[in-house]
Amino acid sequence: MVPTVEWKDGAVRLLDQSRLPGTVEFLDCRDYQTVAEAIRTLKVRGAPAIGVTAAMGVALGAQSINAMNYSSFAPAVIKICDELAATRPTAVNLFWAIERMRRKLESLQAQPVSAIKQALLKESQAVLEEDIDLCKTMGRHGANLISDGETILTHCNAGSLATAGYGTALGVIRSAWEQGKKINVIADETRPVLQGSRLTAWELMQDQIPVTLITDNMAGSLMRQGKIHLCIVGADRIAANGDVANKIGTYSVAVLAKAHNIPFYVAAPYSTIDLKTKSGADIPIEQRNPLEVTTIHGSHPVAPLNVAVYNPAFDVTPAELITAIITERGVFQPGELSVQFQST
């Protein structure tokens, strides 16, 4: 698997996902502002990957702060945290990772600045390594829900590209494949940014996992024909009641799955569960540039000039449409989350 994000030669190196599948190109971020812009412009995307990247962005920014003591160093780091937190409002992993870096900073008040800088860098690396490990554990839990010979529908990209490695929804699929199950994947193209066609199809083909690409409006027809056996998607935020925010179009897939008695699973790490948010109605939904809808990649117009556009990046799938939520800590019913995770 091509690394999505890593620390390399004093920089945060990102696989530029805006260039896929045509070009495999890396972006070396040498200041935190470049990291923030990469998150904002979808050069890195996927809730877990955004979280890891933000943690590394905090560590990167800290290295360039010229301060002799904690009292002058800490406010500068907090400013970096705030700027990174403002990049995308929906993916809760972003805020989780930044808060973790804040707590690490606060725990080091008695240390010299040079030691704090190194500790923050080490903490960001731990966030990355933990993400890979938990995705593999999540994959093993979820693979038990997939039978040999089944065809799985997925929406958007929740694979190694959306994480530090291995993936959430695609991690479950990847784990089932590694177990020798002869499975097939159907990937929604995922308009308007085409994460399914550009990223999911590319990623699965790299691993030689059978994948078929469809347009977003084909899923219901295939379900009716019995050609889809289950659905697995990722998540950008999961509310305490089990409502799930994920890429726009996920709700439609869940409604179709319910109508055809097909299991609909969500795979996401614990850090995506936001117990402070009571329900999906409280999840902020990012509104993005109309050009994503009216053009292909910012050029090649596909709509009339100046047409009104509504472009939410995410929608919310109610808990009652979700069969189960797969985490690194096991598989749970949506209504069990507040009980299972309230003490952690």
By residue count, the chain amounts to 344
Phi/psi class of residue 194: alpha, beta or left (left: φ > 0; alpha: ψ in -120 to 50)? left
Contact criterion met (CB below 8 Å) for 184 and 212: yes
d(CA 116, CA 111): 6
Query: In which residue are the tokens 């962005």 written?
Result: 57
Contact criterion met (CB below 8 Å) for 230 and 263: yes
* Active-site residue list: 236
* CB atoms inside a 10 Å sphere around CB 261: 7
H-assigned helices in the chain = 32-40, 47-63, 70-85, 92-106, 113-143, 169-178, 195, 201-206, 219-224, 250-259, 291-294, 337-341
Contact criterion met (CB below 8 Å) for 194 and 116: no
Contact criterion met (CB below 8 Å) for 196 and 187: yes
